[in-house]
A and B are shown apart, each in its own frame.
Chain A
């Protein structure tokens, strides 16, 4: 049994456990859809990434089904998406798990996003934590204040604002 709380903190051992536990069954399950093995493995990895991402965003807090069922349902969705993109088809996939969110980010601003990514790392650990909790894990500022033990929300807000201004300056250099 995998502890979702460990996945929530992105514990590498827990991620490895969930990845290895379901890999074989997923590859068998996915093979009938006609993707080549490398593509299918890539989709499986994306499925795990989507799972972790949704756990970190708190979307699995009230999971009503088995983790495997959830995983395969997400996997099926991503397999169809991949097939649509390769074969230029437009198959609609239903029955996605409730609250599942997976945003595809277009790559038109690839260079800008990569520049932001590089500079985010120069902001320091605290800024990266705040911004990751807010924009990636989609935590509210009140929750972040508690998690990072800020005296009050205003202190956190001005810290976040400083992080953003610093980032802007780095990007304009």
Chain B
């Protein structure tokens, strides 16, 4: 593309076009196919970055609303009662072995399916496409269907989200090892959707469910030592593990 055209497009995005340049710009959009394609390409980049940044923020905001899970609260009660009982009765052994929640309890306390943060389903808008269908199934808790749809999307497009949500579908179905296999072999290139962080979190939970405590702790330590959305959960959970 000519230097003149490059400068015009650059000035458009910098909001620096003069009145005359605006006219030239508009004329070129209509009559110069190469110019209009180049402009459209950059405009799509602009849109794409906006959507990516907005989605990343949305995930962050949703994270702020996550309340301590129901069963964590009951576990805290348990913890307090245990401590009191230890002092009063001095029956340390009994408390630490008989009353301690097992790993399944801990898993259930912390496990929550990762929400759809990729494809907002707007009711009544009749969105089409594989991606939309997969997320619709996922949101409707039709995980047998969503796991297949995400698998197919990943096969076709290698989109990271498809792999991540395929694993989520397996976890929801209780097919924990299959979910683990996917996440262990996945390499998420970016953390815009928090997949990199959530990958470690869900692996930790899945190993916990399968009673593979050392594997779970490995991921929890990684999460607990750096700032991320699951840092607090990971630290809390670590304190509860042997």
Contacts and interface: CB of A to CB of B under 8 A. Distances in A.
A and B, one complex?
A: yes
Interface of A: 10, 12, 15-16, 19-20, 41, 45, 48-49, 52-53, 103, 105, 107, 109-118, 120-122, 131-132, 134-136, 138, 140-141, 164, 167-168
A45 B59 CA distance: 10
A140 B57 CA distance: 24
B48 interface: yes
Q: Is the interface of A mostly helix, strand, loop or mixed?
A: helix
A121 B61 CA distance: 22
Interface of B: 10, 13-16, 41-42, 44-54, 57-58, 60-62, 64-65, 127, 129, 131, 157, 159-160, 189-190, 192, 227
Contacts of B13: 134-135, 138
A45 B46 contact: no
Contacts, number: 89
Nearest to A39: B123
A107 B127 CA distance: 9
B14 A105 contact: no
B45 A112 contact: no
A135 B159 contact: no
Contact of B49 (A19, A48, A111, A132): A132
A121 B49 contact: no
A110 to B, nearest CB: 7
Contacts of A48: 57, 61
A141 B10 contact: yes
B16 to A, nearest CB: 7
Contacts of B53: 53, 132, 136
Nearest to B15: A138
A107 B64 CA distance: 27
Given A117-B48, A138-B14, 19 more contacts: A15-B61, A19-B61, A20-B64, A41-B65, A48-B57, A48-B61, A105-B51, A109-B47, A110-B129, A111-B131, A113-B51, A114-B159, A121-B189, A121-B190, A131-B45, A131-B49, A135-B45, A136-B49, A136-B53
B45 A114 contact: no
